[in-house]
Every structure is written in structure tokens, then in C-alpha cells.
Amino acid sequence: MREPAGDVPESAVLVDRFDRRFRSLRVSLTPACNFACVYCRPADHRTFQHGSALLSLGEIARVVRTAAGLGFRKVRLTGGEPLVRPHVPDLVADLKAIPGIAEVALTTNGSLLPRHAGRLKSAGLDRVNVSLDSLNREAAAKLAGRDVLAEVLAGLEAAASTGLPVKLNVVPVRGVNDHEALDLALYGAERGWEVRFIEYMPMGRVAQSLPDATVPTAELRERLAERFDLHPDPSVSASDPARRWVCRRTGARVGFISSLTENFCGACDRMRLTAEGQLRPCLHQDAGVDVRGPLRAGADDAALAVLFNRAADAKWAGHEMTAAEPRFSERDMISLGG
């Protein structure tokens, strides 16, 4: 049964073959990044922005307007590092003005927030998710490829000072920062920020260079139980990739995005738009529908809607990362806007 999306006619709401309605569009603004995180890109990876190869900000807004007409309500801007792209606050303002778009959020490594947080807040950004993988300078540098901790903490301070709602993203990597799970949860709780622990997902060449690095969610929950009386939050939507838990004693909140061990494929409501203009139905599925070419050839809204439908029809029932012969994406995470 299709679920109406506000003022979008029921017949227009985008639903895939498995009756999953699409609500969320993740938009990669650039495959470039000023960090070199080991779980996102191989050590020898080099990414350059090629102007005409990337969708313009105007083209991105055009695609999002089409998505809104199909029932999409949430947009998350990602990268690479999205804030290395110029004029992101202007894009946020444009997206917030699109009828039907209820939320625009941004995922960032935080390093450029001191420069942009105020303008992002003024443009209407609803939330910022900041990657904070370690509170230890050496471990943070090992994960990010350079000394970054002071920059990330300054970015968090800048976001908080403007009143931007903050969530923390943590990718535990076995043997590097997984022992810090409790410290990071406490750090977030002290500041009223939800901490989201994201299972490391082997993709691209990183799958070979960083083997056996995933820390299962169940293991993390057991570690956090030393300090937090955690119970599942029943108010969270089934389509939310993070399973949120709340400490009854303190109200502290943690989330777990368990793509490998407790996946949420059955309720997934997301599609991705890559920086180069491909609609990708699943992060882990090497399939995409080109929108850049049709856009530049003059495609109208109806033609763009057909492309969205084509991408939806290609979406798997679920990823195959836990099968007997796992099928990982051949593309590196940095190029997809994870």
C-alpha cells in the first residue's frame, strides 16, 4: 500500500518493487576531501574536482525538486567533504525553499565548520553530523591520514556556538579506536549530542587493505552497558538507518548503524545522487542511472521522474555483504557519498 506524502498525489509517490517508499535523498557534492580516512579511501587514492564532470549546484537543486515531487522529504549533503565545494550555504537555502523538502542535513568531517557554520545556520540547515572517530590525537591522525583532532573539535565548537543541532558519527575500527566507544559516548552525552556508531563497511579497494576491521554493534552495546542503562527507543522510525538506544537513567542517546550485522534493508527509504550525476539505488549496489546527460540535454520534470523510477526499479531487496560469497561495491566510499 502506498503511503501518501503530504500534498504529493498517492500515484506519484516513488515506491520500489518491494513496496518501500522513498523519503530520503543523499546528495554527494564532491568526491574530494581534505582528509584521507582509512575506511573511506585507499592510501594511494587521489581525487580532483573536475568542474563540468560534476553536477552544478543548480542542477542538484533541479534534481531535488523532482525528488520532492515524488515524495522525498529529507536531503542529506555529503561528499567526500561537502564543504570543500564552494557556495554550499547557498545550495542549502535553495533546497530549503523547495516545497515538500522538510529537512536538509549535512555530514562533514568538521574541519571547515569554523568558516561556514554561521552561514549554514542562517541558510536554514537543520542538522550537522560531524565525524569524530577518536578523542586521542594519535589515533585520530592514524584514521584520518593527518593530524586532525584540533580541527574537528574546533568545528564542533563552531557548530554548537551557532545553535546548529549536532550528532556525532563514529566508525569503530578494530585495533585502532574501538576501545574508545565508552569515552566517545560519554563525550556526546555530556554535551547533549547523540553519538552514532557506524559499522565499518568494506568497499572498493579498502575492503582488501583494511580486512577484519568491523566491530559488531552487539559488541559495542555490551561495552557501553558498563556505564549506560540502554534501552531501545521505540519512537524511531523503522526506516531510520540508526537504531537508537536511550539511557533511562541519564537520557543519553546513542545510535547504531549496523549495515553488516543488523541491517535495515527491509525498511530502507534512501536513494543516492553522486557528484557526477548518477542516481544510485543502494550504497552497496554497483548500479546507477545517469541524470547529468539528460539534464544537460533539456530533460523536463517528467523525464527526470522516469529516471528516478528506473533507479527505484533496480534497487535490491537487500545488500549482499553477508552472503556466503559477499558482493561488495567496487567503488570506494569517498566517490559515493556514504
131 annotated to bind ligand:
yes
288 annotated to bind ligand:
no
**Do β-strands 289-290 and 278-280 pair in parallel, antiparallel, or remain unpaired?**
antiparallel
Which class for 186: exposed (0-12), middle (13-18), buried (19 or more C-beta within 10 A)? Answer: middle
Which class for 255: exposed (0-12), middle (13-18), buried (19 or more C-beta within 10 A)? Answer: buried
Give the single-character DSSP code of 19: S
Closest CA to 332 of 25, 28, 86, 53: 28
Report the C-alpha gap between 181 and 134 in whole angstroms. Answer: 9
End-to-end CA distance of the chain: 29
Report the C-alpha gap between 12 and 8 in whole angstroms. Answer: 7
247 annotated to bind ligand:
no
41 annotated to bind ligand:
no
Q: Which residues contact 302 (CB under 8 A, 6 or more apart)?
A: none
137 annotated to bind ligand:
no
Report the C-alpha gap between 267 and 65 in whole angstroms. Answer: 24
From the centroid of its chain, how far is CA 213?
20
At residue 12, what is the residue type? A
| Element of type H or E holding 189 | helix 181-191
Report the C-alpha gap between 52 and 276 in whole angstroms. Answer: 9
**Do β-strands 103-108 and 74-78 pair in parallel, antiparallel, or remain unpaired?**
parallel
333 annotated to bind ligand:
no
272 annotated to bind ligand:
yes
268 annotated to bind ligand:
yes
Report the C-alpha gap between 260 and 202 in whole angstroms. Answer: 10
107 annotated to bind ligand:
yes
271 annotated to bind ligand:
yes
From the centroid of its chain, how far is CA 207?
19
Q: Which residues are annotated as a binding site for GTP?
A: 26, 76, 107, 167, 270-272
Binding-site residue numbers for S-adenosyl-L-methionine are 39, 80, 131, 201
Binding annotation: 26, 33, 37, 39-40, 76, 80, 107, 131, 167, 201, 265, 268, 270-272, 282
